[in-house]
Amino acid sequence: MSNKHDHEVHHKASTHHRKAAHHFEAAAKHQHEAAKADDHDDEVGAAHHGYLAYGHQIQAIHFAEMAAKEDESVDHSDVDHK
């Protein structure tokens, strides 16, 4: 059974998961743009989009880690996981 505190923790975790997903999607879009730029020998464009993709990836991993820590903080000792 979940209590109010556990619910709040899971709500925070879901927010972090959504932020992570947003940044992973943004990273993927920039990786595709970097690939297109490389296809057209656009070194500046490829570098720009690669840099943006890398930044989004870092943010995504950060939020994914925060979500995992929130989920781990809930006491599951009273839950039967069969």
Six-digit token pair at 11? 């709500």
| Separation of CA 19 from chain center | 6
Q: Do 56 and 24 meet the contact criterion of CB atoms below 8 Å apart? A: yes
Say how far apart CA 27 and CA 50 lie, in whole Å. Answer: 9
**Count of CB atoms situated within 10 Å of the CB of 47:** 13
Whole-number pLDDT of residue 8:
78
Is the per-residue pLDDT at 69 higher than 50?
yes
> 16-50, pLDDT tens digit by residue?
999 999 999 999 999 999 999 999 999 999 999 99
Say how far apart CA 63 and CA 81 lie, in whole Å. Answer: 26
